[in-house]
Amino acid sequence: TVLSFCITPLAFCELAKRQPTLRLFWLACGVAAIWLPFDFDIVTHLWPWPEGNGAYVINVILAVDVALIGFITIGKTPDVGYWLTPQTKGSFGTGISDLEVTVKELFSFCCIGIPLAFAIGFITFNPSVSGPIAFFETFLGIFLTIALPEELLFRGLFQNLLGGFIKRRWHVIAIAAIVFGAAHLNNGPPLPNYSFFLLATIAGVFYGRAFVRTKGLLAPSLIHALVDALWVSFFAISAS
């Protein structure tokens, strides 16, 4: 139910506050309580209306609200990076701007991801965008309903909390990327979709790098949304 979907993560965050020695464990349970209902398609039919994409948008808004209340307000989780004000060089002590990181990490991923996707037969070239306005609309919709919520979950929360257990930065980025990739195994057919897993994992590395370099969610969310928008607008999943 909607109530249990909201209360369960908040309860884990409250336990994290009350039991400091198990803080990271309870916060990790809170992340799972938000992620798994989406990944196993449990929340799809929470609402009698609207159906389809409308219900998905409502669920995403609800999940983001629960995450912000639970992890920031109740759990006092530091370094989530949930701000949308573009950083310039030197802000927040990063020495690098969001725009610079976005361009560099997006270009780096495209140099690897696009040739690999063609090589394994995952995509075909199929431009379908009708113009720059349509592309921007696609990008904005993806940014608000997919990229930002997923980056909050996988980078701002999961990767961030994982850093409390593992001190080697690259290990943290890699593990978070693999978990992010695993969340795409059920994006089929086929099921499990190992090609999607591979490409999402590689993309997750660049999203994770952007989060570390900027200490915020804006750059990884921009890269994520641009990758998805380019895919939707210029490519199609291969039927083979």
The pTM assigned to this predicted structure is 0.94
pLDDT for 214: 92
pLDDT for 164: 87
pLDDT for 9: 97
pLDDT for 159: 97
Burial zone of 239 (CB within 10 Å; 0-12 exposed, 13-18 middle, 19+ buried): exposed
pLDDT for 61: 92
pLDDT for 89: 67
Q: Which residues of the chain have pLDDT under 70?
A: 89-95, 239-240
